[in-house]
Chains A and B, each alone.
Chain A
Amino acid sequence: MIRQNDIRILSCDCITPFGDSSATCEALLEGRSNVRQYPLLGNAEEALVPLSLFDEMHADLPPRWFKIVQKLLAPVCGPQWGRADTPVFVSSSNFGVDSLYYLRHEGREDQLPYAVPHSSVEQIRKVCGWGHNISLCSHACVSAHIAISCASDALASGAKQALVVSYDFISPFVTGGFNALKILNGQAPKPYHCAPSGSIALGEGAAYAVLALEGEGPTIRAQSTWNEMFHYTANEPEGSGFAKLLEPILPLLDKERIWLKGHGTGTVEAGRIEAVTLAKLFPQAPLTGWKGALGHTLGSCGLIELAIALRAMEQGRAPGTVASQKPCFTENIALKPFSTKPYDAVLILSNAFGGAHAAMCVSND
């Protein structure tokens, strides 16, 4: 779809193990990675896998993500949110599913209030003092993009402002699943690196954005989605999904003046398809990916990486593809930080199970 209205981002921030969006952007500009090796399910004797965590996985009350999200959302707490004309959109691929896992496997019945999506969000709603107008969007790793598109629709149909929130934290539920799919192994991720095998790292974090049709701030100029439905966990191998995603918004973009924040998890096939397709469509544009430093923050990656991209544009330098190395799939992969001054906008892409793709183009005016 193509949005007909520009959407203003009045404020946007994230929290990662590095800190807020400014601290995270700074860490990435310095080439630092928070990815470390942790036991797969949190027990010492298990195989090690690359994760970017705030602290080790464990059951806690409230869950260890809760206070981190609460801290992030302090600027957007209050009863003005969650009303008919100020809707809240919360996205996640996990919500509080870690609590359901711990409840079942460790008998932690105290986890129940956080164990399903709506109860998890209800705990956030109560602590933030919001009203009840909250939509929950969950579309695996494009969840945050979907929430932003729903918020955009709400604004176009009369809402004054919309708040988008996304959070994803790591638990054995997630690490066990990605390991079973054989895409989370012992290797550290090197996004877009041309090698016989690759791996992702899983990461955690949260972000929010306040959106409106009018006001001061960066602008979401275009949004698009495409769901390939070619395979449950893989993309169509010729890259048609990326091309179909961008087809409706390409006429709106100035190809010469755009930089690309790709999905780039570190898996070989998906990275190759993405890099090659984007290099064909945007031969002049530098392509960078940050999951080698942050891990893949799952359904929240679109919003977390938007917050970092905004800080990068404010200071005029974008982080490179931290933790990767040559040879890369294409010449336009930026391994080192680069100036954003020659560019007017960034195209932010995410990719999910089912060949779900999402993109948004954001300019700094």
Chain B
Amino acid sequence: MSQTVLGGDRAATPSGTAEVPAIRLRNLVKRFGETAAVDGVDLDIRQGEFFSMLGPSGSGKTTVLRLIAGFDLPTSGTIELEGRDVSGMAPFQRDVNTVFQDYALFPHMSLLDNVAYGLRVRGMAKQERRERAVEALDRVQLGKFVTRRPAQLSGGQRQRVALARALVVEPKVLLLDEPLGALDLKLRQQMQLELKELQRSLGITFIFVTHDQEEALTMSDRIGVFNNGKIAQTGTAHEIYRRPTGPFVANFVGTSNLFGADAAGRLYGRGGQFVVRPERLAIGWDGATPSDDGVTAVRGTVASVVYVGHATQVHVALEGGPAVVVLVGADLPGADDDLLGRSVAVSWADRDAVWLPDAA
């Protein structure tokens, strides 16, 4: 994308200020009555980063987003925006904009007025704000629809308007609150790519809240996994997936087969827990355990077979160990009914076993 209104002065800014984080949260706490929705979050989000906050519903990720936007004020702790403390400021005082889950488009305004709204309340002249709004709508392929009302648009189009409206005021940080949740799978995947591309071309910091681990893994530079109001782990998609630091992250991000302390002791003679991803497990249908070096094998019984399109999930109850899921890409050696209850061997390379740090 060429130099644009949105990216204009940002592209001119040298990246020398990159050491100051775009957002810095220190010991952030938000209580609603008795419950702590956010319970001591420390987080640095770098400038120009695509950061995802991933977690199940009720894990505090949306509350953190609302605290950054200023819709709620923290019970304690600080929020810094590019080095400036904004903890107690109202939303209109913060250089941060939000794309809402329900898009929150103004129903009584045309698309043009919706997108120009932020410029209007900041006192920009009518002619200029119209030009910028049209340009922003053009960028999200809605230039033809400037006179339409939000009610006349599809979900995906509304989503684009919300994006254009938030970006036209050139925020330092863009907050996205599960913006793709209401779209169908195809459109969601397309929007994921477009968002990522937009973020790359604008260089604006994006903070993206989602409960969809696949979405987070696809789009993010870094991911913060939330659980019970705390951050369980922060890292790149690769780190989060390959090196989870606890059972929660291992289970929430992708499917994991968790081996408890007793299984670990029996198989490896050491304490602690480890996980193996389903696609790293191999299944021996004849029940013979391979004796290669660096490969561990356990016998088990097939409990169920679930076809998921690109592969088959085979659930195996291991002898003396946990029930595991094996992802089998190849064709199965028989009909499902024949396989059920069959005695098989499940094996994995020892380097694919990820040891979890002991819970403190």
Do chains A and B stick together as partners? no
Q: Which residues of A contact B (CB under 8 A)?
A: none
Q: Which residues of B contact A (CB under 8 A)?
A: none
